[in-house]
Amino acid sequence: MDRQLLIASTLCYLMALVRTLLAARARIALHGRFNFFAIGAGFLFQTAFLSVRGHALGRCPLTNLFEVFIFLAWSVALIYLMVGPTYRLSLMGAFTAPLVFALQTFALLAPIDVPHQTRLPANPWLEFHASVSMIAYGAFALACVAGVMYLVQERQLKTHQLHSIFYHLPPLTNLFAAITRLLWLGFALYSAGLISGFFTGGPLPRLKMICAFGVWLFYGAILQGRHLRWFAPKRVAALCVLAFSAAISVLWAINFVSQSRPL
């Protein structure tokens, strides 16, 4: 039942992705509204999946890598739905849909939905720590998407080669403002997630802590560099892409070492 909800959600994201590709191929104007509603529908199915799975587990559904991927995809969609319309970043949907689609397709196809032999006890601090950290990853993912959009636009402006996509991208300064706010949002949530990790009651795995602090320091350094104007906006955008790539690798590593102890 819950996997069917997830398949329905993935199909919604696929629709947004296919429409973007068809529009790009036919050189037809991209309309953010369709993507917004497709992602909205996908988000509702994701929420329903997480709710069904959560009720079945009796706790926040973050007990294996499969659920981590779905929660991450849900967080990306959530932040997009909150941020996209606010900053009029309608095209961000065209960039977000493929990311969410890829995360969910991988989660559905890979043999990673392994249920635990024993029912895991509820631990509010642990669940808060894991879910808030995942939402922070969603914000970092969107900052990465906005960073890619910034770099594409900046490159075209510098080289004077303006392609069709250029006319659909939001203004450069608006994009940079969105990147900055997404970074702050993600950093605040990630910090809350890290702090709450100390209250989970169990022993703290050393490697997991090092990785998590590494990501925190990386984003903290970007924000500090941005605040002190060490980094030009272009560099901040590039660092957002790099940091998210590193963070997602770390997330994988954290889950790898946490196999014996679920999140």
What is the contact surface with another protein in residues (CB under 8 A)? 26-29, 153, 157-158, 160-162, 164, 166-167, 169-174, 176, 226, 229, 232-235
- Our CB check for another protein shows the closer of 29 and 109 to be 29
Contact 34, 16 (CB under 8 A): yes
Pick 46 or 153: Cβ nearer another protein:
153
Minimum distance of another protein from residue 87's CB (angstroms): 10
> What interhelical angle do 233-257 and 124-159 show, nearest 10?
150
Give the C-alpha separation, 68 to 251, whole Å: 9
Alpha-carbon distance of 220 to 194, in angstroms, equals 13
Minimum distance of another protein from residue 160's CB (angstroms): 5
Cβ at position 112, least distance to another protein in Å: 41
* Closer residue to another protein in complex, CB, 28/207: 28
Residue number with CB closer to another protein (181 or 258) = 181
Helices (H), the chain: 2-26, 32-57, 65-86, 92-109, 124-159, 172-197, 206-227, 233-257
* Least distance between another protein and beta carbon 233 (Å): 5
